[in-house]
Structure 1
Amino acid sequence: MRVYHSPTQPLNHSTKRGFTLVEMAIIIVIIGLIASMIVPAIVKSIKRDRLTNARRLVRIARDEIVGYAVMNGKLPSSPDQIGHGEEIFGKGTLFYRPASNLLADDSICSQDNSTLSVILGSDTRDNVAFVIASKGENFNLQLGNNTDDVTIYEYGQKVDDYPEDVDRPEPYDDIVEYVTLGYLKQKICTSASGSESGPLGADISFAQNMDDFVQGAAIYPRKKQSITVVQENKTINLGNGYRNAYGCYWYSGDSGPCNNGNCTFGNGVRVFFKFRFADIDSSLSSKDFADGFTFALISAANNDCTVCGKDKGYLGYAGDNGVTEPVRYPKMAVEVDTYPDGGFNDYSPYNHVSLMYWGEKYEKKRKKKLVEDVDDDVTHGAGDPDKGDPKNNEYGDLGYYNTTQVTWLEDAMEHTFRLEVDRNATSGDFQLRAWVDCIDCSDLTSSYNGTTPTIQDSVTISNMDYIIFGWTQSTRGKTQNVTISDFGIKFL
């Protein structure tokens, strides 16, 4: 019997089929494209995390050596004597080079100088206590280890100055930390000028005059203090973890040659304080935290203790914030800048210190009223001395300084700072010198001659017979937490 299948009824068999070769090829291409985008990002993230961890461990080793020195009055003879002395990249221990004269009992407090120096490009840092370093991602130690010094090169420079490890010149990536003898002595030894009285010779200090400092009128973010005072410690905190913030902190008292914060400049000043960035920036771009601060001397003829500048790269020292009067020229400051900004001609990506003024003057309308000569070009290199506007120092000038370590200031370590300004009241000529990480430099009774100034400059400025002094700070989309302590100023 024949059976006929109705065309209206489906056949009772499967209609499923597999992928064709063309479809399979398309899927493979898509997967390859996705992998080509995702895998490099994952690898890059793994490398970045490993490098961040390596930097953190080297800093832990550094701090353990400091702790050993505090407990024993001397340096350990090898990294085996600390808890984190192992090399991160490869086997063995971290590179460790102590100053040979700091290994005996109680040697740190008995020595005024060390036998070790660090060479950073054209700059030499004397009186280094020790150097601790890791090989970096290329598993190749490349720094220079000579009889009396260690050479630290700029990242990416093709070099190998340590053939004892692997004689293989390639882009430099050693992770290096060092600590000075002066820092250890401040930690361990009795200082001639403790926090009870402030730096020796100071006319005004945190220890004696903390209540006479006031917050500038510019407080941003609203109702939040980006600068606060810790009375029990006699310190001020800058930033306080706020983004897009600015603030100024000025002296307003009557001590020394000052009246309501207006101080007779006379023949100049000597200044000392310590600063510490609490957050460690382990990035190679120096952009994990921002932006820095200034210590500023501003004309009392054109300013009062309510002025302040803008946020971001202006550091609260420059720019018009639209709320208060800006910090008007003439003025001068030491800029401690931790965020590289090409718009201000910073030398990227390095932390730097620089002597700054006001760049070029310009006119600006504010609240429908013309404000003449509103200063504020804080771009490095801006200014025209022929027009009476001193040049802001830029990379390559004696008034601009960075090391080959990208985040050398953002290391959670306490840094000493000293500023000396010599003024000829008749001619308006100024000689400015500043030191960062100076040794035994808190005595303000005489000029400091311990080491070559970190930055220096000579300028001519008029209309600064009376000044206001203090700190300015700012942040952008990143935050910062900076502590200022042990401040003192002496007028000459």
Structure 2
Amino acid sequence: GDGFTFAVVNAADNDTSRSGGRSDLSELLGYAGPGHTADGQGLRPPKFAVECDTRANTGANDPDRVESRSDGAGDHAAVVFWGRQSETGQCAGVGTTYQCIQDDNRHSRAGVETVGQEAPGDMPANSRNVSQGADYFARPGEKAWLRTGTHTLRLEVDRAVAPDASGNHAYAIRVWIDCGDCDDVLTAYAGAAPTLSREFALSAALHAKLERVLFGWTEATGNAVQRITVSDFELVFLE
């Protein structure tokens, strides 16, 4: 199988009927944005997800084609957002122009391309495809570490109520994988450094759209069969 995401999407522009991405592109993990979906919409930004990817789609083709995720070589976990956006719906990159609707979980390549924009308040850039930053994690020499066995995963998200001097709202995402004694969801976890972490800021308009959210899992597989079991799930909103 290709893996899954745990996604948090804005409820202003999404509902529970939405799915993301073309059915013939399982590497999108069901998380892609507007485009070839049953309702023509997909999962619309702002949104973010923890990607648990168990198939290395290492190619850097046009994001509307197969082998276009720019993955690293092996299983990995990453924080993903929503890729590039354009008023015209057309994006330019990797030597071509393409519909910028299927790059939501495409990874940035250091020195080659940045997927998404990094301007404060705008869409965050997606994680790079190597474990040099805090928002992408792989285990060297263990290409299949994530696809078998049982793993614990803890996610914490902080968001600022008040804007900063620029009018943007700060967010912080922290993820622990295979953590110990990390099931107390009523207090922040301090037992170990996070496996993944990311800080970013969103404009007041994007922040307002995340006042109400939908959360859940997206997944996809190609010719192979995958079985994913989620157990002991807990969710708490703290003020």
TM range (shorter): 0.7 to 0.9
For 2:211, the aligned partner's letter is D
Q: 1:301 matched to which residue of 2? A: 12
Q: Counterpart of 1:331?
A: 47
Residue 347 in 1 paired to residue 72 in 2?
yes
Letter in 2 for 1:327: L
The structure with the largest strand share of the pair is 1
Aligned residue number for residue 117 of structure 2:
384
Q: Are the counterparts in 2 of residues 292 and 474 from structure 1 also a CA contact under 8 Å?
A: yes
Q: How does 1:41-52 map to 2 (within 5 A)?
A: none
Q: Select 1:393's aligned residue among 113, 121, 127.
A: 127
Cα distance change of structure 1 residues 374 and 340 upon mapping to structure 2, 3 Å threshold? closer
Larger-gyration structure (1/2): 1
Assess if the C-alpha contact under 8 Å between 1:328 and 1:375 holds in 2: no
3-state SS, counterpart of residue 355 of structure 1: strand
> How many percent of aligned residue pairs carry the same amino acid?
35
Distance 1:373 1:406, change over 3 A: closer
User: 2:28 and 2:82 mapped to 1: Cα distance?
Assistant: 11
Q: Structure 2 vs 1, CA of residues 326 and 423 (structure 1 numbering), >3 Å: closer, same or farther?
A: same
* Segments of 4+ moved more than 6 angstroms: none
Partner of 2:162: helix, strand, or coil? coil
1: CA distance, partners of 2:194 / 2:32? 25
- In structure 2, the residue corresponding to 1:344 is in which secondary structure? coil
1:408 — aligned with what? Answer: 145
- Show CA shifts across 1:398-436 (max 9, x none): 10001121100122x211000000100223210110011
Q: Hey, what's the Cα distance between the residues in 2 that align with 1:339 and 1:421?
A: 26
Structure 2, unaligned runs of 5 or more: 59-67, 91-98, 109-114, 164-168
Q: Residues 373 and 347 of structure 1: is their aligned pair in 2 closer, same or farther, counting only changes over 3 Å?
A: closer
Partner amino acid for 1:346? D
Look up the equivalent residue of 1:302 and give its one-letter code.
D
1:326-375: CA deviation from partner (whole Å, max 9, x where unpaired): 00000010000000012211001x1000001001014559xxxxxx9857
Residues 329 and 375 of structure 1 are in contact (CA less than 8 Å); yes or no, is this contact kept in structure 2?
no
In 2, Cα distance between equivalents of 1:378 and 1:361: 13
For structure 1, the residue ranges without an aligned partner over 5 or more in a row are: 1-289, 366-371
1:441 corresponds to which of 157, 164, 182: 182
Counterpart residue number, 2:199: 458
Residues of 2 paired with 1:471 and 1:307: CA distance? 12
CA distance in 1, matches of 2:219, 2:84: 21
Distance 1:375 1:300 in 2: 20
Cα distance in 1, alignment partners of residues 181 and 162 from structure 2: 33
- Correspondences of 1:272-311 after superposition (within 5 Å): 290-310=1-21, 311=23
- Is the contact made by 1:361 and 1:377 (CA closer than 8 Å) also made in structure 2? no
* Per-residue deviation, residues 50-87 of structure 1 (Å, max 9, x unmatched): xxxxxxxxxxxxxxxxxxxxxxxxxxxxxxxxxxxxxx
Instruction: Give the secondary structure class of the aligned counterpart of 1:313.
Output: helix
Residues 300/326 of structure 1: CA separation in 2 closer, same or farther (3 Å cut): same
C-alpha RMSD over aligned residues: 2.0
The 3 A distance-change label for structure 1 pair 466 and 375 is farther
Residue matched to 2:93: none
Identify, as 1 or 2, the structure richer in helix: 1
Q: Distance in 2 between matches of 1:296 and 1:437?
A: 19
Distance, in Å, in 2 between the alignment partners of 1:425 and 1:314 is 32
Cα contact 1:292–1:315 (8 A) shared by 2: yes
1:357-372 pair list within 5 angstroms:
357-362=81-86, 363-364=88-89
Deviation at 1:299, TM superposition (A): 0.6
| Corresponding position of 2:112 | none
Checking the alignment, whether the CA contact within 8 Å between 2:154 and 2:177 is kept in structure 1 is yes
Question: Which gives a bigger RCO, structure 1 or 2 (Cα 8 Å, sep 6+)?
Answer: 2
Q: Is the 8 A contact 2:19 2:37 kept in 1?
A: no
- State how far apart, in whole Å, the 1-side matches of 2:48 and 2:197 are: 13
Give the letter for the 2:8 counterpart.
L
Q: CA 1:373–1:424 in 2, change beyond 3 Å: closer, same or farther?
A: farther
Q: Tell me which residue corresponds to 1:468.
A: 214
Identify the residue that residue 314 of structure 1 maps to in structure 2: 28
1:358–1:389 contact (8 Å) kept in structure 2: yes
TM-score (norm 2): 0.76
Structure 1 pair 321–297 and aligned structure 2 pair: CA distance change class (3 A): same
SS at 1:361 equivalent: coil
Take 2:127 and 2:162, find their aligned partners in 1: how far apart are those partners? 25
Distance 1:486 1:314, change over 3 A: same
The alignment partner of 2:27 has SS state of helix
